[in-house]
Amino acid sequence: MAQSYPDIYHTIIIGAGASGLMCAGSFNVRKLVIDHNPAPGAKVKVSGGGKCNFSNTRISAANYFSQNKHFCKNALAAYKNADFLKLLDDNHIPWTKTPSGQLFAHSAQDIVHLLTRRAQQANSRLWLNTQVLRVRQETTGLYTVQTSRGKLSAQNVVLATGGLSYPALGASAFGIKTAREMGLNIIEQTPALAGLCFTRDLRRQTAHLAGNSLPAHIQCGKFSYRGPLLFTHEGISGPAVLQASLFWNEGENITVNFLPDTDALAFLKEHKNSPKLFSSLLAEKISPKITKALLGEGDVSAANASAACLQQAAQRLNHFVFIPQSTSGWTKAEVTRGGVDTKEINPSTMQCRRLPGLFITGELLDVTGMLGGYNLQWAWSSGWAAAKALEKIF
């Protein structure tokens, strides 16, 4: 028989990930953190290739995608990247900065250990390997949390369950399902910071390029980004593509410039009398293997190329337009776009406007950062904002 716990917690935090642990360690009252995984911080441990890209030196609201582009400003201003760096320095955890501003720990495990220890020191009890089955608000205003270990009561509940990416690490739809059951509006969730898949014909044309990479410029609507592009068996990936995927909607065009430093048409015209194929002429600028795949039968000798042929080849290299079939899906997406509508949430406290005592943090909200440490910074900032509001509730 499941055991019942009649005592009332000040706060129950559901999710021992980045924002949940940050919240738990940022105010000192009796509380419970519940997670269905066997250990805390599962996604944090694998972030940044195991080195945890925990923030960025260039944090602003412009780095985040949301239906409300201003929502994240308050929390990001209240808990900055400098605050997290101080936390690391105070605990003698080494970190490094890349030229692009990304901030990495030497070990993601160090971050998880710190956050877990900090939470426990702030009077947090951790229940791992524990399923939360249901959350409901009672007429008394208290919250009942039904778990695989029994039924609990709390004055406040924090939903810090994360998004749908990385299902192998335990990601689930519980948080969004609970928010929907409680009447909150949900912005459709889609995989983000993911590769983009070609249609069948385009895959057939480029499948042999899998593993090849090059610098490229990608445009999706008003968004544009320059960085490494990687060909995969499904289509394209790499940092430039992951960034673009955050802004892409089904059915929209993606434009790729495979020669961002070269005006292909001008270059080919300069060599129009050469007997060499286009792929050979451009060999010092782009791999002939890639050029041949992109141009197909259009890879002809410059001397024999008509004006239309030159134009078409240049277009394929500088302005390659395609409609992705899809993203590479939840198993390969780094984050989730969409989530609980931020109109439902106080931007300074992360508390639901219509449900006092219910707080939502991190990736579960409709706030998604770009690649480069922005999503973990949002986890720290939103978790801290909720904690500062919770410590004022008695």
Q: Is residue 42 part of a domain?
A: yes
> What is the pLDDT confidence band of residue 4, given thresholds at 50, 70 and 90?
very low
Cβ atoms of residues 21 and 35 within 8 Å? no
Domain end (from 284, 309, 327): 327
Q: Summarize pLDDT for 278-316 with one digit per residue, the tens.
A: 999 999 999 999 999 999 999 999 999 999 999 999 999
Q: Could you give the number of structural domains in the chain?
A: 2
Predicted local distance difference test score (pLDDT) of residue 5: 45
Same domain, 345 and 358: yes
> Residue 168: its pLDDT value, please?
86
Phi-psi region of 134 (alpha: psi -120 to 50; beta: other; left: phi over 0): beta
Residue type for position 111: I
Domain end, chosen from 311, 327, 343, is at: 327
Q: Is the pLDDT of residue 109 over 50?
A: yes
Let me know whether 86 and 167 are in one domain: yes
Percentage of the chain exceeding pLDDT 90: 96
Q: Which domain holds residue 110?
A: 8-190+330-390
Q: Are residues 237 and 348 in the same domain?
A: no
- From first CA to last CA, the distance across the chain in angstroms is 33
3-state class (DSSP) for residue 254: strand
What are the tens digits of pLDDT across the range 171-221? 899 999 999 999 999 999 999 999 999 999 999 999 999 999 999 999 999
Is the pLDDT score of 325 beyond 60?
yes
pLDDT over threshold 50, residue 381: yes
Domain shared by 205 and 349, yes or no: no
Cα(184)–Cα(173) distance, integer angstroms: 15
| Residues 219 and 79 reside in one and the same domain | no
One domain for residues 32 and 123? yes
Co-location of 313 and 166 in the same domain: no
Q: Same structural domain for residues 322 and 335?
A: no
Tens digit of each residue's pLDDT (9 = 90 or more) over 72-85: 999 999 999 999 99
Write down the pLDDT at residue 7.
80
- 224 found inside a domain: yes
Per-residue pLDDT tens for 216-227? 999 999 999 999
Q: What is the C-alpha to C-alpha distance for residues 375 and 377, in angstroms, rounded to an integer?
A: 5
Residue 186: phi and psi, rounded to 5, are: -120, 130
- HSE-CB of 279 using CA atoms within 13 angstroms: 14
**What are the pLDDT digits (tens) for 122-154?**
999 999 999 999 999 999 999 999 999 999 999
Cα distances from 372 to residues 58, 99, 259, in angstroms, run 10, 12, 24
**Cα(375)–Cα(55) distance, integer angstroms:** 8
Do 321 and 357 belong to one domain? no
Question: What's the CATH number where 66 sits?
Answer: 3.50.50.60
Residue 155 located in a structural domain: yes
The CATH number for 235's domain is 2.40.30.10
21 contacts 119 by C-beta, under 8 angstroms: yes
Burial 13-49 (b: 16+ CB within 10 A, else e): bbbbbbbbbbbbbbbebebbbbbbbeebbbbbbebbe
Please give the pLDDT value at position 3. Answer: 44
Residue 125 and residue 160 in one domain = yes
Angle of CA points 93, 94, 97, to nearest 5°: 135
Torsion angles phi and psi, residue 272, rounded to 5: -65, -15
Report yes or no on 3 lying in a domain: no
Task: Let me know if residue 1 belongs to a domain.
Answer: no
Choosing from 308, 327, 346, the residue where a domain stops is 327
pLDDT tens track for 222-244 = 999 999 999 999 999 999 999 99
Tell me if 314 is assigned to some domain. yes
Whether residue 1 is predicted with pLDDT greater than 70 in this model: the reply is no
46 and 143, same domain (yes or no): yes
User: For residue 359, is it left (φ>0), alpha (ψ between -120 and 50) or beta?
Assistant: beta
Task: With respect to residue 274, please indicate whether it lies within any of the assigned structural domains.
Answer: yes
Mean pLDDT of the chain: 95
> Does a structural domain hold residue 2?
no
Residue 166 has pLDDT above 90, yes or no: no
**Same domain, residue pair 101 and 21:** yes
Dump pLDDT digits (tens) for 7-37: 899 999 999 999 999 999 999 999 999 999 9
Give the 3-state secondary structure of 148-196: CCEEEEEEEEEECCCCCCCHHHCCCCHHHHHHHHCCCCEEEEEEECCCE
